[in-house]
Structure 1
């Protein structure tokens, strides 16, 4: 399928991504194919290859960061096509090398889409078809985690403290939604910092906590404590204040270890 995809005008190469590329898959895991394109993509040819009844979303159809793609069934197996603008991925990689990144709003990413994910997908993926050799070369370069990016993401952990102080104000008003959102975001920021401290690419929120709690910079009981905070933050002011207090301690310990 990957080699047939590179026959579609505009497609530069195809990578296997997700859990299967990393060897972390389960028997029923999807096959994620990153379709890297440049310029104008021949959607008609792509739709013809996908077959009847398959909706192929054009670039931008799934949001500003997860460009588009399709969900297929091949012999009863789920195969996901995920479009990636190769030039944009290259620009993001150069920004990562300079310690610059952004976090965008994207459906399916409740803590936002962190732009270094683009580079991480290439670094952790497996090249399946690459006629020009560009993907292979980019994968070689992304194998080394940029030190400026590490410094930027670990330094950004200050936001977690800011969010916890905001949550404290919400606790006084028994604003459970605001408190929960602040604490979830704070944990997400800490997880990104822990991954970066270990020079490890964090691709999305799914499964990130289970990895983060095993990393060297994580304080004792990090995962257990996060699950307690987010699993039952409380509803009454005193319950929420106790949760925020525990979060404040966890944030301080995590930042101290970075």
Structure 2
């Protein structure tokens, strides 16, 4: 572990009554990288994210975020991070632009309208900015949710299973957004149970199993854990992803007409 780590986790333990969820977790995350925490349901991924974002206290061990201790300096940690949970936390009564302006005002930032317009353009939501979030597709809501998380330019963002429940095209949209974040210098800690998601996005992958990290490395390093593949000539067939993108068009934009027509108009107040 290095002094320059954006996130450092050492010996973190957490139990709920007699259930040990985290049993001594260790890893660090380099600044500006995408770090994937891969594990099945119940592995402890969300619990660890809640500890790192100061929403939950660990029973043992230490963790620092941007050099601040999550236990003794929670205020400084919260100023350095943003958290996007498993479900999009947008207000469906408000428009996309109003959601962004609301968060900007809560953060006491100047020119909330300009901030909202910039993020709408950045996340390809400008044309839908004045529509109620209830009319957005799943991918658009998730992009709006991530855009809201970036207000105030936090150096670190936690994405807890950001594509859970999304359709294939919406997942690809979110993947593109995550790559853009890392490309612009944001450190991303991503939890996922999807193997392809970790493979597509992560600079480093840690596998969390039964409360401990059983392996941690780059994709190439993890692949070396298995015997070398036997080289044979194989005629490559198109994958399902190739077929899907060929049929719907690889534009990075979702066709939200249907979702706009069928989305419920219920209230979702914070």
TM-score (norm. length: structure 1): 0.30
TM-score (norm. length: structure 2): 0.29
Question: Which structure: greater helix fraction?
Answer: 1
Higher RCO (CA 8 Å, separation ≥ 6 residues): 2
